[in-house]
Structure 1
Amino acid sequence: MLQYPHFDPVIFTIGPFQARWYGMMYVIGVLVGWALGRWRASRPGSGWTAAEMDDFVTYLILGIVLGGRLGYVCFYNPSYYFSNPSEIIAVWNGGMSFHGGVIGVITACWLFARNKAKPLLAVGDFVAPLVPPGIFFGRLGNFINGELWGRTTDGWWGMVFPGAGSLPRHPSQLYEATLEGLALFLLLWFYSARPRPRGAVGGLFLVGYGVFRFTVEFARQPDAQLGFVALNWMSMGQVLCLPMILFGLWLMFRKQGG
């Protein structure tokens, strides 16, 4: 059994302001994606400029924060938040839905594409490889927060998480960081290095994330307020992954327009 390295979630405090590792991980993820996007925009034939990438970051941040938070509120605990609406804005306490974040980022891409007169699918293809670093750091933030732990395990890699009882559990946050973050980034980065049909890179992102997340959910503890939501074994995360995978496959293999 591995020892969980009890982190202090607060980096520093200045008066009433607290800088937390959870929020810092999101900041680092955005900065890494921004830097990679600017580098890619500078490559010949990218169809982007560094200035356009700078503009897009504002859209991206709003899409991640608003989509991720509202997705968590609506998908995972609507009754609590509708009864305590002031808690909806308390992002510093945790509670972000990746699937809600995807909806937010797609909305951000649509608004940006409309304002810059760019094809939506082309924007999605450019942005897709920049998202996994944010997922990687976001999952590290979950691990530091000691939240979203896995199911119990007797494997030597199990950890006893604070607030999760005395039994060792899968460090599923690290599984997700590795698969949805690192592995998906490498897959998309190299796949997008060559010209692909429009929509294919974005489609691979949806399929890759959906498959990785669906798989890790077998080791992740379902949300206590939901449990299994379909067929007595499928979690909400798995249910939400199915339309992602199907839509991603359609984007990858659809017939291209003239």
Structure 2
Amino acid sequence: MYGKTGGIPMKNELFTIGPFTVYSYGFMIAVGVFAAWLTAEYRAKKYRADTDQIFFLVLWCLVGGLLGAKLLFWITEWKEVAADPGFILRTMTDGFIVYGGIIGGIIAGWLYSRITKLNFLKYFDLMIPSVALAQGFGRIGCLLAGCCYGKETSGWPSITFHDSDFAPNGVALVPTQIYSSVLDFVHFAILLWIARNKKADGQVAACYMIFYSAGRFILEFFRGDLIRGSVGALSTSQFISIFIMAAGLAMLWFTTVKAGRK
């Protein structure tokens, strides 16, 4: 599967070894997870956190994130599941929703922190910039695969796929994958700055929730893939964004007030 934008080639299948094919989306997800792990390890040493816990936190959050992303996809496609339960088995390896991954990862991290008696908010702050970094690489995977594409456009910039199994071919589209990736990397940098200046545990995580939900809500207006589901006039992700934003604002207020009382 190939596409072109400004002469830059894109390929979904990177290479094949025997019966195994390495896909660009899965590869970029793996790169993102590895980068997230390395940055979390580095920052744990910098802030004198327990580095022995980072690998297991990453692993728990990864598993929880995958389960959450898959579960939310099936929830949004409940009509398909109700009509044909075999839909679940046929979509085991494709169809994931980022918000489900975020929520599932947070729950998994909270459970791990409870089991190991870690300070959840402290490690939430430590890990969350790495999540934004991983998302940036993941969106590059979306670009290479052609998924999560934008609406048709006659403006500039645009992106046109020519042999995609996901995006419409031969049509100029809003490059939502590029926008998302750039915003995620910028988000990562901003969260690092906030982490250096925070007054209380939980403030970095709260800012992530606020910034990501706001950016995602706006970008959803430019998305063209219809499989994401909807709640009234809003897409599923926009609907969830409202609650994530509210939770982030409440968390920021609470942690700021708590810090001010010390």
Aligned length: 248
2:231 to 200, 206, 229: 229
**Which position in structure 1 is the counterpart of 2:189?**
186
Residue 15 of structure 1 deviates from its aligned partner by 2.7
Residue 62 of structure 1 deviates from its aligned partner by 0.5
TM-score (norm 2): 0.86
**Which position in structure 1 is the counterpart of 2:17?**
14
**Which position in structure 1 is the counterpart of 2:115?**
115
Q: What secondary structure, in the 3-state scheme, does the structure 2 residue paired with 1:126 have?
A: helix
What amino acid maps onto 1:128 in structure 2?
A: I
**Which position in structure 1 is the counterpart of 2:180?**
176
2:51 paired with 1:73: no
**Which position in structure 1 is the counterpart of 2:171?**
167
Residue 131 of structure 1 deviates from its aligned partner by 0.5
CA contact (8 A) 1:9 1:144 kept: yes
Separation in 2 of the partners of 1:66 and 1:157? 35
CA contact (8 A) 1:2 1:156 kept: no
2:28 paired with 1:25: yes
**Which position in structure 2 is the counterpart of 1:253?**
253
TM-score (norm 1): 0.88
Separation in 1 of the partners of 2:132 and 2:81? 28
Which blocks of at least 5 consecutive residues in structure 1 are unaligned? none
Separation in 1 of the partners of 2:6 and 2:177? 15
CA contact (8 A) 1:25 1:138 kept: yes
Query: What aligned pairs does 1:204-215 form with structure 2 within 5 A after superposition?
Result: 204-215=207-218
Change (3 A) 1:225 1:188: closer
Map Cα deviations across residues 172-216 of structure 1 (whole Å, 9 max, x no partner): 01111111x111101101100134222211110000100111111
Q: What secondary structure, in the 3-state scheme, does the structure 2 residue paired with 1:63 have?
A: helix
Residue 132 of structure 1 deviates from its aligned partner by 0.7
Separation in 1 of the partners of 2:120 and 2:91? 30
Residue 63 of structure 1 deviates from its aligned partner by 1.7
Separation in 2 of the partners of 1:159 and 1:88? 27
What amino acid maps onto 2:110 in structure 1?
A: W
Tell me whether 80-89 or 25-34 shows the greater mean CA deviation: 80-89
Separation in 2 of the partners of 1:206 and 1:47? 25
Map Cα deviations across residues 196-250 of structure 1 (whole Å, 9 max, x no partner): 2222111100001001111111211152574x5333xx22221111101000000
**Which position in structure 2 is the counterpart of 1:242?**
242
Higher strand share: 2
CA contact (8 A) 1:2 1:157 kept: no
Residue 79 of structure 1 deviates from its aligned partner by 2.7
Kindly, what percent of the aligned residue pairs are identical? 25
**Which position in structure 1 is the counterpart of 2:145?**
145
CA contact (8 A) 1:68 1:97 kept: yes
Which blocks of at least 5 consecutive residues in structure 2 are unaligned? none
What amino acid maps onto 2:156 in structure 1?
A: W
CA contact (8 A) 1:38 1:49 kept: no
- Over the aligned positions, Cα root-mean-square deviation in angstroms equals 2.2
CA contact (8 A) 2:198 2:204 kept: no
Change (3 A) 1:3 1:206: same
Residue 106 of structure 1 deviates from its aligned partner by 0.9
